[in-house]
């Protein structure tokens, strides 16, 4: 689809047809970013969207090792006292 750039003050803009807005699930505001000579328009995501699922997928397992345990040395084992 080819669209004309329209003047909006000192800027330029496009009018996005209603059908495309509905197909993409766009709301009243969008996120806009540039990637390799392209403008990417996407719906706004809620802050921290998807974090719950990511944490659930990364639950601790029996294979997890605490980093500090692997760094113990002779001083830690024999000389250190609380």
Task: Tell me how far apart the alpha carbons of residues 64 and 70 are, in angstroms, rounded to a whole number.
Answer: 12
C-alpha span between 31 and 46 (Å, rounded): 11
Average pLDDT over residues 46-52: 84
- Residue scoring higher pLDDT (62 or 31): 31
Mean pLDDT of the chain: 84
Query: For position 1, which CATH number holds?
Result: 2.10.260.10
Instruction: Classify residue 68: in a domain, yes or no.
Output: no
Q: Judge whether 64 lies within some domain.
A: no
14 close to 5: Cβ distance less than 8 angstroms: yes
Total domains in the fold of the chain: 1
pLDDT on residue 57: 81
What percent of the chain shows pLDDT beyond 70?
87
53-82 pLDDT tens trace: 888 887 766 566 666 666 777 887 787 777
User: Which residues have C-beta within 8 Å of that of residue 4, sequence separation ≥ 6?
Assistant: 14
In a domain, residue 38? The reply is yes
Determine, yes or no, domain membership for 69. no
Provide the domain limits for residue 15: 1-43
């Amino acid at each position: 689809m080819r669209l004309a750039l329209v003047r909006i003050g000192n800027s330029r803009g496009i009018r996005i047809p209603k059908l495309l807005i509905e197909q993409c699930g766009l709301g009243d505001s969008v996120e806009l970013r540039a990637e390799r000579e392209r403008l990417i328009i996407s719906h706004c995501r809620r802050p921290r969207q998807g974090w719950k699922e990511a944490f659930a997928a990364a639950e601790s397992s029996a294979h997890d090792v605490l980093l500090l345990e692997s760094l113990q040395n002779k001083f830690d084992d024999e000389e250190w006292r609380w």
